[in-house]
Structure 1
Amino acid sequence: MGIFSRMTDIINSNINSLLDQAEDPEKMIRLIIQEMEDTLVEVRSSSARVIADRKAANRRLTQVQAEADSWEEKAKLAISKGREDLARAALQEKQAIAEEVTVVEAELKATDEHIGQLNDEVAQLQQKLSDAKAKQKAMMMRTKTVESRIKVKRQMHREALDSAFQRFEHFERRMDTLESQLESMDVGRDVPPDLAAEINALEDDERITDELERLKSEMKGEGAKDSQ
């Protein structure tokens, strides 16, 4: 089922209200335009049929008027020949045709009114369609503008994040350098204090042992001299 069910629905429609109520205005405006274009095709097709009917009725009117004029001429001829009876019969035929002329003329008048109404409706529908397309264009431009602004903002945020990450990486590299410098200052100083003391004690003990051996050797030498 279409958005609009009759021509008057389209002409009297409030497009803005329809769009305000729609969950997806862009989809709604596309459907409205499609409905209007389809209806416009139907109305123009109907107008073409009515115009064709008018042309046929106009040809018929010309034909019956010619027949009426012909019977009148025949009536005149009969009168001139003294045949009033034939003249009366001819005028009866003319009268019958005159009634048909009246019917065809009324038909033409109604057809002209119908065509005029269709022309007005087509004009109003065309205006509605133009308005709808203008709204669609404005909506597309607005959507494009909003999308462009969002893209720019995202780009700005991305650049800001990239800059922040770069600054953070630079800070990390600087901290790594400082930590490396600090570690280099501690090279050779990472031997546990107790172990260093033990090694020093061993060195001291070795010197004492050497000194002790020296003294023993000297004392042995002196003892040997005394025994002689």
Structure 2
Amino acid sequence: MGIFSRTRDIVAANFADLLEKAEDPAKMIRMIILEMEETLVEVRASAARTIADQKEMRRHISKLDGLQANWTEKAELALSKDREDLAKAALVERQKAADMADQLRAEVQVLDDALRASEEDIAKLQGRLREARNKQSNIQTRLETANNRFRMRDMYAGPKTQEAFSRFGELERRADEAEGRAEAMGLGVSKTLDEEINELRQSDKVDAELAALKLRLSGNSGGNTNREG
């Protein structure tokens, strides 16, 4: 397949269809971009060779133009010396040079047309390459976002997290059992003097709070009675 026909195939390709049919869109995008980059390099190299050929042809044309002028001078000189035969021969050589120059100019024109087409193809291919790179960036961003969301959901609702929390429950049960054993160790043990005194203090405190509560309730009840009277 020629470089320019392949370039036009790439430019005409429907990326959406390619990605929809691809099993791995990200891989397909990478392949498309690689193909475009390689084709772009080849098209530019071909364009560079075309430009070099044009410059070489133009140098030959310039030489042929100079050769025509030289044969014209020789023909004029021959006529001035009454050598019509030599003048005619010089004009024949001049015509040969002119024919070669015209042929080269036609070839240069063909290369000009090819170069303009190549320039258009390069511009279109660069546009498609930007489009493909944008799609690649978009897909990569979407993949990273989806992977991050999956990791976050797996972190707070995945089986590993559930298993970890179930083990927290087991640890809490073990802590309860350890505390129960510690409390069981104190069952049937006589209280110390300090513990009995502290209990009395707590009892006095509770009695004082109970008396204060009764007094407050009694006062509120009396106030309500007065208002009703």
Q: Does TM, normalized by the shorter one, top 0.5?
A: yes
Could you say which residue in structure 2 is the equivalent of 1:139? 139
| 2:155 partner SS | helix
Report SS of the residue matched to 1:6. helix
Matched to 1:134, the amino acid is N
Q: Could you tell me which amino acid in structure 1 is paired with residue 114 of structure 2?
A: H
Maintained 8 Å contact 2:61/2:105: yes
Q: Residue 48 of structure 1 corresponds to which residue in structure 2? A: 48
Q: Which residue of 2 aligns with 1:64?
A: 64
Find the counterpart in structure 2 of residue 124 from structure 1.
Answer: 124
- In the TM superposition, what is the alpha-carbon distance from 1:180 to its structure 2 partner? 6.8
Correspondence for 1:32 = 32
Please list, as runs of the form range in 1=range in 2, the aligned pairs for 1:1-228 lying within 5 A after superposition: 6-157=6-157, 161=162, 164-165=165-166, 168-169=169-170, 172-173=173-174, 176=177
Aligned residues: 183
CA distance in 2, matches of 1:8, 1:35: 13
How many Å separate the matches in 2 of 1:174 and 1:163? 16
Where 1:82 maps in the other structure, the secondary structure is coil
Moved over 4 A (4+): 173-181
Percent identity between the aligned chains? 38
* 1:183-206: CA deviation from partner (whole Å, max 9, x where unpaired): 99xx9xxxxxxxxxxxxxxxxxxx
Q: In structure 2, the residue corresponding to 1:79 is in which secondary structure?
A: helix
Between 1:61-70 and 1:37-46, the stretch displaced more is 37-46
Offset at residue 39 of structure 1 (A): 1.3
Q: Which runs of 5+ in 1 are unaligned?
A: 188-228
User: Alpha-carbon deviations, 1:31-70, whole Å to 9, x = none?
Assistant: 1111111111221222222222111111111111110111
**What code does the residue aligned with 1:8 have?**
R
Unmatched tracts of structure 2, length 5 or more:
189-229
Q: Closer, same or farther in 2 for the Cα pair 1:97/1:178, shift >3 Å?
A: closer
Return the offset for 1:172: 3.2
Q: Which residue of 1 aligns with 2:214?
A: none
State the SS of the aligned residue for 1:156: helix
Question: In 2 relative to 1, CA 176–66 (structure 1 residues): closer, same or farther, beyond 3 Å?
Answer: same
Please give the root-mean-square deviation of Cα atoms over the aligned residues, in Å: 3.0
Residue of structure 2 in register with 1:223 after alignment: none
Instruction: Please give the TM-score of this superposition, normalised by the length of structure 1.
Output: 0.69
Aligned residue identity for 1:71? W
TM-score where L is the length of structure 2: 0.69
| Residues in 2 aligned to 1:179 and 1:58: alpha-carbon distance in whole angstroms | 105
The AA in structure 2 aligned to 1:152 is M
Equivalents in 1 of 2:60, 2:6: separation in Å? 33
Distance in 1, Cα, partners of 2:67 & 2:19: 60
